[in-house]
Copies of this chain bind each other. A is one copy, B any other.
Amino acid sequence: MRIGELAERAGTTARTLRYYESRGLLPARRAVNGYRTYDESDLRLLRQIRTLQDFGFDLEETRPFVECLRAGHPAGDSCPASLAVYRRKLAELDGLIDQLQSVRAQVGAQLAQAEAARADVMRATAPPPRCELTVPTAQDITEQDPMNEGERT
Contact = CB atoms under 8 A, between A and B. Distances in A.
B97 A83 contact: no
A36 to B, nearest CB: 30
A114 B55 contact: no
Interface residues of A, number: 30
Interface of A: 55-56, 74-75, 77-78, 82-83, 86-87, 89-90, 93-94, 96-97, 100-101, 103-104, 106-108, 110-111, 114-115, 117-118, 121
A102 to B, nearest CB: 10
A48 to B, nearest CB: 11
A77 B107 contact: no
A44 to B, nearest CB: 16
Contact of A103 (B93, B103, B110, B115): B93
A75 B75 CA distance: 56
A86 B111 contact: yes
A56 B104 CA distance: 10
